[in-house]
Amino acid sequence: MKKNQKSSNSIKVYSRGILDKNLKIKNAAWAFVIIKDGIEYVVSEKTFDSNEINIEIRALNHALDNLLEKELNNRKIDIYIFNYELLNIIKTLRVIEINKLKMSFTSKNSNAVLKLKRLLTFFSDVSFFFKIDSDERLELILKRTIRM
């Protein structure tokens, strides 16, 4: 945990996954940062998944799980993601009822996507924002995690 200078009423979440395509064995990592009341909570994990969008979804799922565990699901939450494909998946999921969801995603993604849809039903005020520019702090965390 790290004290942050800025404090606001909303909780900010940065969610990101990366895939290192340069190695024979594809390494990957996901991470998220939750900023609540000026305190930063950072979680990251190395994975061997070779599907980039699945890693992005996994990062977001873990962030939402963490918020739910902390019982923060009724607070205003702003989530910043760095993958446009993930943003489109989220937009689609938000308008589809879970019992009418027919998976057009690959089977590798279907469980993660279904979990994301289920998790989103527990949140009352969540907004998603797409960030083109990377977050240096998050990139550093991911690079350190992937090298472990």
* Spatial separation of the C-alpha atoms in residues 59 and 90, rounded to whole Å: 14
* Spatial separation of the C-alpha atoms in residues 23 and 58, rounded to whole Å: 21
Q: Would you place residue 114 in the very low, low, confident or very high pLDDT band (cuts 50, 70, 90)?
A: confident
Within 10 angstroms of residue 110's Cβ, the number of other Cβ atoms is 14
* Spatial separation of the C-alpha atoms in residues 86 and 15, rounded to whole Å: 11
Cα 9 to Cα 6, 72, 97, 113, 131: the distances in Å are 10, 12, 30, 29, 21
List the structure tokens of 41.
Answer: 């909570």
For 49-63, letters b (16+ CB in 10 Å) and e give bebbbbbbbbbbbbb
Which pLDDT tens digit goes with each residue over 81-109? 999 999 888 888 877 665 555 544 444 55
Q: What is the DSSP letter of 11?
A: E
Could you tell me the strand order of the sheet in which 125-130 lies? 2-3, 39-47, 27-36, 11-20, 76-81, 125-130
Which pLDDT tens digit goes with each residue over 21-72? 776 667 889 999 999 999 999 999 998 777 888 899 999 999 999 999 999 9
